[in-house]
Amino acid sequence: MVPSNVLTTGIQTPLNILIVGAGVCGPAIAFLLQKANHRHNITIMERGSTLRAAGQQIDLKNEAPFILEKMGLLDRVKACCVNETGLEVVDANDRQVAFFGVSPSDERGLTLTSEFELMRGDFVGVLYDASIEQDTKLKSIEGYRQGLQYKFGETVEKLDQTPQGPVDVTFSSGKYGGRYDLVIGADGQASRTRRMMFGEKASAASFHPLGIHGAYFSIPGIKNEGSIAKVFFSTGRKMVFTRPSDRPTTGVLFFLRGDFAQLDECYHQSIAAQKAAFTAILDGFEWQKDRFQKGIESTDDFYATKLGQIKLKTLFKDRTVLVGDSGYGPSPFTGLGTTLALLGAYTLAGELTKHGDNMGEALRNYENKMKPFIQEYQQIPSTALSLVFVSSRPAVWLLNQFAWVLSKFSTMMPQRPNVIDYRGRLPEYPELRLVDDTQK
C-alpha cells in the first residue's frame, strides 16, 4: 500500500534522472522528486570521492527557511547552526569601529550575520542524510525500482541528446553511463555540464566577472575569539572577514578588487602556487598579517577564485537543465547563493512533478518562474562595491566613520516590518506532497 505522503495523482510516469553534483541542489532535488513519486530512478554523480565536508559558512535567507520547513528539515538545520552573534568592524589595532547584530532571515539588513548561519558541509550533510533516509523508507513500497543512488569519484565526459530525449551519457572513465530522461547539472560555477550543453565559448561568456578576487580558508582559533565576526577594510582595495562562531577553527574570507596579473595566472596552477600568490598579496597588510599568512601555508581547505556571476539566456537545452550556481550563481557578495540554489531546486522539482509527462513544458516553466528571482538576487550596485573597496588611508578612515554612523543609525531606528512575503511568493506545488501541504 502506498503511504498518504506519496503522490497518487498527477505524474505517473517514472523518470530516469541523472544529477551531476552532490552539493546543495543535487540531494535537495532528489529528496523532493522521490517524495513526490517513489518510482523515479535517480542517480547523483559527484566528482569527489566523498561528500565535500569542507567549505565556508553560509546563511539561509528569504525563501530558504520556508522551503526547508516544507521539506520537514528546518529543525535539523537549526540544530546545525553556528553561534555567530554579529559583525564587528575593526581598525588595524583590533579596536571596534562599529557593530551590527543578527539580521532575521527574512530581512536584507546591514549585517553579514543572518538568523540561520551554518557550515556548508553540515548543510549538505543534512540534505544528503535526508535523501538516504527517505530512500530507505521507500524501498518497502510496491513499485519501487532502483530508487536513489550516489556515485562518487566519477563525472560526465559527454552528453548525446536530441530535443525530445533521451540523453546518452559517457562517464569520464570512458564507460557508457546509461540513458536518461533528464540530466540535471548541479555542478557549480565552473560547471562541466554547462560547457557540454552550450559549448566552451558560450559557457565562458556566461561568466560575468566582478573584478574581485577571493580566498577562503580556515585557521586555528585563538583564545577569547568568541562568536563575533570581524571585518577589516584595508588600503589597496582589500578587505578580510574572520568568522570564529565559537568553534575551534576560524573561517577567513579575503577579498581584493582590481587587476592582479599574478592572481589571474595562479588559478590555472597548483594549490601551492595559489597559496603563494595570495600570501605575497598579504605582505604589508596591517591586521593579523602573520596569522593569515601562516594560516594559508598550513590550511588544508584553501580555495581561491575570481568572483563573478553566471548569466544565461536559457537554463536548459533539450533534456539537460542547469540549477544553482551552474545556471545562475549570484556570487558570494549577494549573500544569497544558497537561497537561490535551494529555490531553484524546489522550483525545478515542482515543475517536473506537475508537468512530468510534458518535459518541455516543465523546463520552460522552471526557467520562466526562476527568471524574476535570478534578476532580483543577482543585483549588486557597483557603487556598493566601490564603497567598501578603497585605496587610500583617508578613504579607509572615511569608510570606517560611515560604518560607525550606519551602526548607530540601525540601533536608533525602530524595527520595520518586512514588506516582502517570502513564504507567500513561493510557487505552490501540492504535487510535491510536502509537510504543510499534507497538513492542509
Q: Which pLDDT tens digit goes with each residue over 53-102?
A: 667 889 999 999 999 999 999 999 999 999 889 999 999 999 999 999 88
How far from the centroid of its chain's Cα atoms is residue 34's Cα? Answer: 22
182 in Cβ contact with 15 (< 8 Å):
yes
SS3 367: helix
Per-residue pLDDT of the chain (440 residues; tens, 9 = 90+): 333 343 333 446 889 999 999 999 999 999 999 999 988 999 999 998 888 766 788 999 999 999 999 999 999 999 999 988 999 999 999 999 999 988 776 665 556 678 899 999 999 999 999 999 999 988 877 666 678 999 999 999 999 988 888 999 999 888 888 999 999 999 999 999 999 999 999 999 999 999 999 999 999 999 889 899 999 999 999 999 999 988 889 999 999 999 888 899 999 999 999 999 999 999 989 999 999 999 999 999 999 999 999 999 999 999 999 999 999 999 998 989 999 999 999 999 999 999 978 999 999 999 999 999 999 999 988 788 889 999 999 999 999 999 999 888 766 555 555 678 899 999 999 999 887 654 44
Which pLDDT does position 358 carry in this prediction?
A: 92
Q: CA-to-CA distance for 260 and 280, rounded, in angstroms?
A: 12
How far from the centroid of its chain's Cα atoms is residue 294's Cα? Answer: 28
Which pLDDT does position 413 carry in this prediction?
A: 57
**16-83+116-206+309-380+419-438 has which CATH code?**
3.50.50.60
**Domain ranges across the chain:** 16-83+116-206+309-380+419-438
104 in Cβ contact with 113 (< 8 Å):
no
Q: CA-to-CA distance for 258 and 211, rounded, in angstroms?
A: 6
Instruction: Tell me how far CA of residue 274 lies from CA of 130, 331, 376, in angstroms.
Output: 36, 20, 33
Which pLDDT does position 75 carry in this prediction?
A: 96
All residues at 6 or more sequence positions from 249 whose CB lies less than 8 Å from its CB, including other chains:
218, 219, 220, 221
Which pLDDT does position 8 carry in this prediction?
A: 36
Which pLDDT does position 112 carry in this prediction?
A: 67
Q: What is the pTM of this model?
A: 0.91
Q: Which helix (H) or strand (E) holds 295?
A: helix 289-298
291 in Cβ contact with 232 (< 8 Å):
no
Which pLDDT does position 138 carry in this prediction?
A: 87
Q: Which helix (H) or strand (E) holds 229?
A: strand 229-234
Which pLDDT does position 10 carry in this prediction?
A: 43
Helices 25-36, 120-138: crossing angle, 10 deg rounding:
20
Residue from 416, 323, 414, 412 nearest 373 by CA:
323
Q: CA-to-CA distance for 303 and 296, rounded, in angstroms?
A: 10
How many helices (H) does the chain have, and how many strands (E)?
15, 18
Q: Residue 278 pairs with which residues in a beta bridge? A: none
Q: Where are the beta strands (DSSP E) in 302-398?
A: 303-310, 316-317, 320-322
